[in-house]
Each structure stands twice: as structure tokens, then as C-alpha cells.
Amino acid sequence: MNPQSIPDPELGSPGGPLVGLRVLDCSSLIAGPTAAMYLGDFGADVIKVEHPQGDGLRTWGAVKDGVGLYFKMLNRNKRSITADLHTPLGVEIVRRLAGRADAMIENFRPGTLEKWGLGYETLEALNPGLVLTRVTGFGQTGPERDRPGFGTSAEAATGFAAINGEADGPPLLPGFALADAAAGLAGAFLTLAALQGRARRGGRGQVVDLAIYEPLLTLMGPQLVEFDQLGLVQQRTGSRTPLIAPRNTYRTRDGKWIALSGASPSVFERLCRSLGVPELGADPRFRDNQARLANVDALDAALQAAIARFDRADLLARLDAAHAVAAPVRAADEVLADPHYRARGSFATVADADLGPLTMQNAIGRLSATPGSIRHAGPRLGEHNRAVLVDELGFSPAELRAGGIALP
């Protein structure tokens, strides 16, 4: 099955569960726009409000023909308008849009919306049902509320970097925007939770206060409770984990890599048998998960020696036949070629006015009746100024141009 192909970038969602929901995306860069992206994937009408100079993400990362690829992916299914919120015109644009929206997402420093006359009390008076999702580095409250914060700060300060890396190496930050991406997913969930709560509150909206560090702090798992109850502090162990053994990456004969884990006795036994070393399964040092954790250096050395006798493709075939738990370590080229991902529709190919056919990750999950979809890639800057600002909100072309807003 080929990736989903939608030739018309202006197609609306025929049946996403959030059709009819309007979201005002006043955020920039990664965390806030990610939250809005998830809502747009499932049918919400997302209007992205950008400074006339554009979201900074338009120039981040790899570009093709002057077009930022990350922006195209992260701002898919959105309409773009421009407004400078430092001006009365920009503020009025947001006021009118907020009056018609179900939710608004912003990621300015605490107090910034209030300085512009767009605090929640003002917006609530215009639209009592509005949900305002505020995404900041450290939240709207607390002694560090005014600190600038990006995902890097969260990845360091929540404990992630401290356990990431080799035992004798430095703490490692992730190679992608992990904390921001996690905050985006949480932001979408919290926005929908608040909208569901609106029905229970007589149609009244509320404020969602999300700090970027909070989702990653929870994703870290049992570290805090283990320290609280046992005084344990997890250390860096490379690809190993203190929970199960084996769990690591191993190099194959042809210089490629696989990842495997095998905590249960049956899985470990099948792994050893498929590798041609059944004696490891009978070794008292490896008799159960706790014993394997206590002897993990010897275990990994023995597994690496066995794995190094096979090319990756042959090894994976053997492991699959034995129902062992393993996977190839892949880069993007192999990910896009994976037949299972393609069969499940994990990729979407859309027509784009700037770049032509463009393939990216599809909407996550599969809803049987109202699936999500990628209807178009990220829009051109201000592409929908006329449709939204003139045709819908009633601004005249003359006053928009006088305020520095270009019309397509």
C-alpha cells in the first residue's frame, strides 16, 4: 500500500472527530505548534497567527529551495495569517479570532498576553467558552515562572540527560526536540480535556497551564518514587536499563545494528536458541531477570559474540522465526522503506505548492470511523490573510495594508 496521497492541498477533513472545532494557534517554534498540529490532524480548523516576519521555525533546520522542511511538517493542516501583536491592529485581530474560537494556544512568557491586553479575563469576556492553553518553559506560577525555557532546559533539569549516555561519558541531550514534542502531545490532550470539561461547566472555558518540563518529568518513569522510597538514583548505563536484561544494541557481522530485549524466561530462552547458544539459557548467571541484571556485562559480551556471527537480515529472520523480541536500528531512509509502516499508512504524501509531493509522518493512531488525515503541508506565510481577515473578520484591505499586513 502506498503512502496516503491527497492531490488537493485545500481538501478539508471529511470526517475527523474534531471537525467544527476552531483552534487559534498563536504559538511559535515547537511545543505549542505541535499541540495545534495534533488537533489539526483530526479535523480542527487551526488558524496559525504569525508575526509578519514569520515563525522562527520557517528558517530552522534543513531547507529546500528556501523552504523550511520542519515547518512544513509541524504546521500541516493549518491556515496562516499574519499579525503583529505589538500593534493595536494585531491585538484586534486576535481579539476577533478569539471571540470565534473554541481554543487558543500560546507560548509567550508569562504576563505577555496581559501586557498586550489579551489576558484570559479579557478573552473570557469576549468568549466565555474559550479554552486558553498556555505553554511555557516553567509554567505560569512558581519562583522560576519568568525564566526563559526551551526543551533543552527541560531535558537537562528533569533528569533525562543525567541518565542518558554511557556510564563513563558525559550526560547526553537527545538528538531531537524530545521535551517540546512531549509537551505538544500533552498540550493537545489537555486542550481536549478542558474542552470536554466545558460541557460540564455550563459552557465555560478555562486556562490550561502547561510547563514544558512536566510531561517529560512524568515520562521518566519510577525514578522519583524510587528515590523517595529507597534512596535510589538511576545512573547512566548506555542502552541498558535497570529494569530488565538483556536490553541493548548489538553490532552484526555486516556492520549494522539491532536492538533487543528479553526479560521473561521464555523470551530469553528463545533468543538464546535462535542465536545458536542455548547454553546461555541454562547458565545459572542468567537463570532469571535479576540474575541477568547482576551479571549484565558477561551477558552482553556473550550475546555480542553470538550476534557478530550473523548479517543483520539473516539474524532478524532467525529471531522473528523464534518469536524473539528484536528490531533493526534504522535511520530515516530505512524507516521510509519499511513495508509494514507503509501498509499501516504511517506516512502521508501530500501535494505542496512550494515543494511538490511531500512525504511526512501521518496522523498517529487509527480511528475506525473518524480517522485523522494530513490534508496539506505547512502554509505559506500569510497565505490565508484575505480569507480570514477580510472575508471572515471584516477588516478592509486598506487598513490591513496600512498595518503592514500583506494580502495574497
Which residue's C-alpha cell is 496581559? 114
369-398 confidence digits (pLDDT tens): 999 999 999 999 999 999 999 999 999 999
The CA distance from 193 to 205, in Å, is 11
Domains of the chain: 4-220+344-402 (3.40.50.10540), 247-334 (3.30.1540.10)
CA distances from 199 to 20, 130, 394 (A): 16, 12, 30
Query: Is the Cβ–Cβ distance between 268 and 262 less than 8 Å?
Result: yes
Which residue's C-alpha cell is 515547518? 71
Q: Rg for the chain (alpha carbons), in Å?
A: 25
Cα–chain center distance at 158: 18
Listed as ranges, residues in the chain with pLDDT below 50 are 1-13
Query: Is the Cβ–Cβ distance between 300 and 249 less than 8 Å?
Result: no
Which residue's C-alpha cell is 500583506? 406
Which residue's C-alpha cell is 497565505? 383
The CA distance from 297 to 164, in Å, is 18
Q: Where are the beta strands (DSSP E) in 7-89?
A: 22-25, 45-50, 63-64, 67-68, 78-82
For helices 178-200 and 31-41, give the axis angle rounded to 10 degrees: 60
DSSP 175: S
Query: Is the Cβ–Cβ distance between 157 and 134 less than 8 Å?
Result: no
The CA distance from 192 to 35, in Å, is 10
Give the pLDDT score at 7.
Answer: 33
Which residue's C-alpha cell is 505549542? 32
- What is the grid cell recorded at 150? 526551551
| Annotation says 320 is catalytic | no
Give the pLDDT score at 8.
Answer: 35
Residue among 245, 271, 257, 258 at smallest CA distance from 323: 271
Query: Is the Cβ–Cβ distance between 362 and 346 less than 8 Å?
Result: yes
**Measured in Å, how far apart are the chain's first and last C-alpha atoms?**
37
The CA distance from 390 to 384, in Å, is 10
Residue among 238, 245, 190 at smallest CA distance from 215: 190
Give the pLDDT score at 170.
Answer: 97
CA distances from 336 to 38, 237, 399 (A): 21, 30, 47
CA distances from 293 to 246, 262, 285, 287 (A): 8, 12, 9, 10
- Looking at the DSSP bridge assignments, the partners of residue 211 are 136
- What is the grid cell recorded at 399? 487598513
Give the pLDDT score at 150.
Answer: 87
Catalytic pick from 25, 180, 300, 352? 180
Query: Is the Cβ–Cβ distance between 363 and 4 less than 8 Å?
Result: no
Give the pLDDT score at 43.
Answer: 97
Neighbour tally for 265: CB within 10 Å = 13
107-121 confidence digits (pLDDT tens): 999 999 999 999 999
Give the pLDDT score at 14.
Answer: 57
Residue among 13, 45, 80, 71 at smallest CA distance from 373: 13
